[in-house]
Structure 1
Amino acid sequence: MKLKNLLACAALALFAAACSDDENNSINENPAADIAGTYAGYSEASFQYTDTPLVSAGESLTITNDGENGTATLTYTSASFGEFTVSGAEVTHSGSTYSVSGSGSTLMGMGDTKNEYECTLQGTLDEGRTKGTFTFTVPSVMGGMTITFTLGDIPAEKLLAGSYEGWTNASCAYFESMTAENQTITLSANNDGTFTLAYTSDTWGEFSFTNVSATEANGTYTLSGEGTTQMGMNGNVSEYPCTLSGSIDKSKENVSFTFTVPGVMGGLTITFTLGDMPAAN
């Protein structure tokens, strides 16, 4: 009886193990089906002619299961970087990670003029489908272009950092609405979540802020900080304290900065607006 019981227990254990293997195999029988869906995220583009990646928020990538052969079709349409299609991409599952690789094409251009270019894809996705990156490489565009789509919300330091080109309108106790074209403001991310702002103007001098804070609400970041400006005429330059307020939306289409210098000309206010100065000004 003891031998029979021992054999029965052994058989039961083998049966349970076989069932467990079958279940694991069924989960990964077609990994492309496991990851099919649409993913929200942001993208960063790097190429030969820029030191700082271009970023685009609020983007999406779709994975469609091709069938029972373990491949998938990926479509990614970026408002900034073009339309990508990779068909027959190989999907594998190992440990806690899905891997995707393949080749396809992209339509890139400006306005109505678009050309088709070959591209390759390498991507990874975790089992929870909450973390992942997909990198598209386009060798024949801009000396080699790499666009990485990342799941999730874009960090503020990636979205806001960069150069902003526009115009300024200044007022003080002695005049109103003095404008200046071709002005550039640069934001650089610090390691603590703050930013450094630099603004050098032929008209107004050099502005420097090393601890600019940025808070987000309803898709818009509000910036504030305290800094200094170097102002003067004919080589007679002095340093003055100044403050900064500003706002940048996630599309980076609505951008403004206001610099206030209380100790200059009875209180000087300079407002920077993104884009070309209207003809009326």
Structure 2
Amino acid sequence: MKLLTPPAPTLCTIDDAQRGLAKSEFFFVYQPKLRMAEGRLSGFESLLRWNHPSLGVLSPASFIHLVEDSPLTGSFTDFVVAQAARTLADWTARGYGRLSLAVNLPAAEIGRPGLASELSALCCSRSVETSRLQIELTETTDPGPIDKLASAVESLKESGISVAIDDFGAGCWSLAILHRLGVDTLKLDRGFMYRIQENANSKVVVESLIELGQRLGKRVVIEGIETAEQFAWVRTIEQIDCQGYYISAPVPQEQIGELVAMHGMIH
């Protein structure tokens, strides 16, 4: 397989993406989340890649703009969640039944009628507990009508599915929206970690966001842990999960076992 190439958004078309989906050119890699209090894996985030026949392996930055708000959105959602259920079932068979898996979906798809029921049925068909599946909303996208989104999030939670806001602090969503959505998890944008070593105020902001999330009863995940210094700092913070290249780059399914052997799993 070719190496991951820089984004080339102008070279991909929606017809190309549709062809790639039909020909199984899209695949996933998995980045672990480490629960700092225990030093063990709590789960993984599923990250989509495209093994393009002429452009090499592309990250979502090269093609996600083609999918969002297009006729392909629903097909990609079906593909993503079906693969997530298969992966969780495979992990269960391999003895990794405590690991969760997060997938990224746009707000418009989370509001799709009947999605919670579809996901519950999908998990049931694979004998997977719905609590192991997490849906991540990206805060940098337009959430659309908040009442509709809040109702969809509540339906997912009633089905046992966890919901997270990804890249929290990077977009334009207000604290009022956060309160109304009632999500389970906040994932702080990786940009905060880049800035804390340059600006003392950034560290204060991160600490305040963590405290806010925890006081609201949310699990907080810090993304972008890429240096020993950053890792040492987050180890001083209680009750958080962390994710980043210092812990591990995204890995193919075949390497999940190596990470489990290295870190273990939460109890």
TM normalised by structure 1 equals 0.21
User: Larger % of helix: which?
Assistant: 2
TM normalised by structure 2 equals 0.22
Structure whose alpha-carbon radius of gyration is higher? 1
User: Larger % of strand: which?
Assistant: 1
